[in-house]
Structure 1
Amino acid sequence: MILDLLFPNRCIHCNRIIEPDFLVCNLCFNQIHFTHYDYFESNPIKEKCNLLFPVENTYALIRFEEESLSRKIIHELKYRSREITGKILAEWTTERLDFKNQRPDLMVSVPLHPRKLRERGYNQLHLFTETLSKFYSIPCDHQLIKRNHYSKAQALKDKQHRLETVNPFSITQPITGKHILLIDDVFTTGNTISSIAWEIINVGDNKVSILVIAVDV
């Protein structure tokens, strides 16, 4: 209580004092550009993924735009040691995403390399995925996908270097005949998602759908 008085939680956009478990104030919340994608219908992510690998369904929560609030939200999640941001974003997702009667069998998040995990202290997608898993009653597995190489963040690579990455991921255990929901933070070129999707598809008779927090296409 004393710490809350001395260091109150503030909106990441306008710096107003807000409730402890909030990310932005009500006024700034209206500035977030939600995608309003339909998980089952065509959207920019599905169109891009279809060029890279067979995909079932796709969804993104917000649009990732330069100098925008959505960019601040993603940076808060990934780089400012505020893991709770993942839970907040998951709650926003559950208010907008309905799997209807076609729920995936398993949720899997894009892994960090162990070295990167030690440096950051947490995987920014774990709490997000776990919150969704609990809400939708769909199991999640943080160990199914292994990142084989330590590398710089995708945002720091040029496009050509991203395309040159070979076999960056592998499957750690047999899995067959499952519909996997693959979860990532930001969808840009689709190369990371594609690398993992092909590993999942090739290891057995599996299907892949995609859920990302933000889309930048």
Structure 2
Amino acid sequence: MILDILFPNRCLGCNCTISADLLVCELCFGRIDFIHSGYFDDNLIKERCRLLFPVENTFALMQFEKENLSRKIIHELKYKSRAKAGEILAEWTMERLDFKDQKPDLMVSVPLHPKKLKERGYNQLHVFTEKLSEFYGIPFDHDLIKRNQYSKAQALKDKQNRLKSENVFSVTKSINQKNILLIDDVFTTGNTIASIAWEILKAGNNTVNVLVMAMDV
């Protein structure tokens, strides 16, 4: 209670004081650029993925642009150790994502290299994935994909270096005939997701779907 008084939670949009379980106030929530296309639609992220690898279905929650609010929200989760943001983003996703009768078999999030995980203290995608897993009744596996190379954050790389991600990931377990939902925070070039998708596809007769918190448009 005292900490709440001394260090009140503030809206990421306008800096007004808000409840501790929120990221933005009601007014700023209306400023978030949500993407209004469904999982089975022929949407922009599906078009971009299909230029890189065979994909079944795709879903992006928000637009990710240079100065918009979604960027602040993702950075709060990713770089400021605010795990609560992962839960809230999951709740927003659950309000908008309908798998109908075609739920994936398994949820897999993009892993961090062990060194990066130690530096950051947690994988920002784990809370998000686990919350979705509980809601939809779909199992997750945080250990299926291994990151083999340590690198600086994608956001800090130039475009040319972001395109060099070959052999970065490997599959650690035998998988075959699985319908896998691959989860990441931001879709930029799509190179990271493509690298993992090809490893999953090479591992057996699997299909890949993609879910991201935000898409760079």
Q: Same fold (TM over 0.5)?
A: yes
Tell me the distance in 1 between the aligned counterparts of 2:6 and 2:62.
32
Specify the alignment match of 1:174 in structure 2. Answer: 174
Specify the alignment match of 2:149 in structure 1. Answer: 149
The aligned runs of 1:52-91 (5 Å cut-off) are 52-91=52-91
Tell me the distance in 2 between the aligned counterparts of 1:8 and 1:164.
42
Letter in 2 for 1:187: F
Tell me the distance in 1 between the aligned counterparts of 2:81 and 2:146.
23
**2:41 maps to 1:41:** yes
Q: Equivalent residue of 1:74, what SS?
A: helix
Tell me the distance in 2 between the aligned counterparts of 1:166 and 1:58.
23
Q: CA deviation at 1:8?
A: 1.5
Tell me the distance in 1 between the aligned counterparts of 2:104 and 2:149.
28
Specify the alignment match of 1:16 in structure 2. Answer: 16
Specify the alignment match of 2:139 in structure 1. Answer: 139
Please list the CA deviations of residues 116-157 of structure 1 after superposition, one character each: whole Å capped at 9, or x if unmatched.
011111101000000000000000110000000000111222
Specify the alignment match of 2:116 in structure 1. Answer: 116
Tell me the distance in 2 between the aligned counterparts of 1:108 and 1:37.
22
Specify the alignment match of 2:203 in structure 1. Answer: 203
CA contact 2:144–2:173 (8 Å) conserved in 1: yes
Please list the CA deviations of residues 11-31 of structure 1 after superposition, one character each: whole Å capped at 9, or x if unmatched.
111111111110000000000
Tell me the distance in 2 between the aligned counterparts of 1:163 and 1:11.
35
Tell me the distance in 2 between the aligned counterparts of 1:164 and 1:76.
27
Tell me the distance in 2 between the aligned counterparts of 1:118 and 1:21.
26
**2:185 maps to 1:194:** no
Tell me the distance in 2 between the aligned counterparts of 1:164 and 1:82.
29
Specify the alignment match of 1:93 in structure 2. Answer: 93
Aligned residues: 217
Q: Equivalent residue of 1:125, what SS?
A: helix
Letter in 2 for 1:103: K
Q: CA deviation at 1:164?
A: 2.5
Dislocated runs of 4+, deviation >6 Å: none
Structure 2 unaligned residues grouped into runs of 5+ = none
Tell me the distance in 2 between the aligned counterparts of 1:188 and 1:18.
31
TM-score, normalisation: structure 1: 0.98
Q: CA RMSD in A?
A: 0.8
Letter in 2 for 1:106: L
Q: CA deviation at 1:114?
A: 0.5
TM-score, normalisation: structure 2: 0.98
Specify the alignment match of 1:158 in structure 2. Answer: 158
Tell me the distance in 2 between the aligned counterparts of 1:156 and 1:169.
20
Tell me the distance in 2 between the aligned counterparts of 1:164 and 1:70.
26
Q: Equivalent residue of 1:164, what SS?
A: coil
Structure 1 unaligned residues grouped into runs of 5+ = none
Tell me the distance in 2 between the aligned counterparts of 1:52 and 1:24.
35
Q: CA deviation at 1:165?
A: 2.6
Tell me the distance in 1 between the aligned counterparts of 2:149 and 2:33.
34
Q: Equivalent residue of 2:210, what SS?
A: strand
**2:130 maps to 1:130:** yes
Tell me the distance in 2 between the aligned counterparts of 1:3 and 1:83.
18
Letter in 1 for 2:43: N
Tell me the distance in 2 between the aligned counterparts of 1:164 and 1:189.
11
